[in-house]
Structure 1
Amino acid sequence: MERDHLILLDRDPQVVGIASQPFWLHWHEGTRRRRHAPDYFVRLADGRGRVVDVRADDQVDDAAAESFEAMELACRAVGWSSSGPGHLSRSSWRTCGGRPATGGAGVCGG
């Protein structure tokens, strides 16, 4: 599934750079320590950054949704867009506000 998304990102003319599992986000949830590594970071032709997580419906549990929320907040703080929590089929791919999988990558936040 990640490979398929990588192919779509690579074909998107707005994407000029891609890094796979580019960093770890660490945060505390009460006394519990959490961390999450997104699947991709992409640089867009206009200079904006986007974090992409690829996840099938049956893989988005409460912990994954919480990780996506934390990532979205962190990305917003630095001016990047990000994928958000949600449930998608195996044939679709996750980017916030994205176009259909057959149409390439979408961008969250316009």
Structure 2
Amino acid sequence: MYFSTPIWTGLLYTLTQVHASSKILADQPWLDPTLPNEQRIQLFLDQLNSTQKYAMVQGDTELDDNGTGVNPCIGHISGNETLGVPSICMGDGPAGRDANNQLNQLCSS
């Protein structure tokens, strides 16, 4: 099964934001920032079944609001607490997207 490298790199970045104690690292070695990225991704993928892998790249419709009654997500991937993966909420920048196809600049922040 082929998965796009940027997707897994993004997931790996998200995983590195999770606090990793020594006990967690023993149970979840993919959270160990001292290991090479390719090894960490493989360790993580080895823990997932096909359905879980699909859910990581396909997303879902489980969109939680942020207490305002409005959901800020334009894309959502459910987390997996057992594996130490937080939910991912993706959204547009503060200006939103360019509805008139006038987009000629992108900022990276």
Normalised TM-score (structure 1)? 0.27
More strand by share: 1
Output the TM-score relative to the length of structure 2: 0.27
User: Could you say which structure has the higher helix fraction?
Assistant: 2
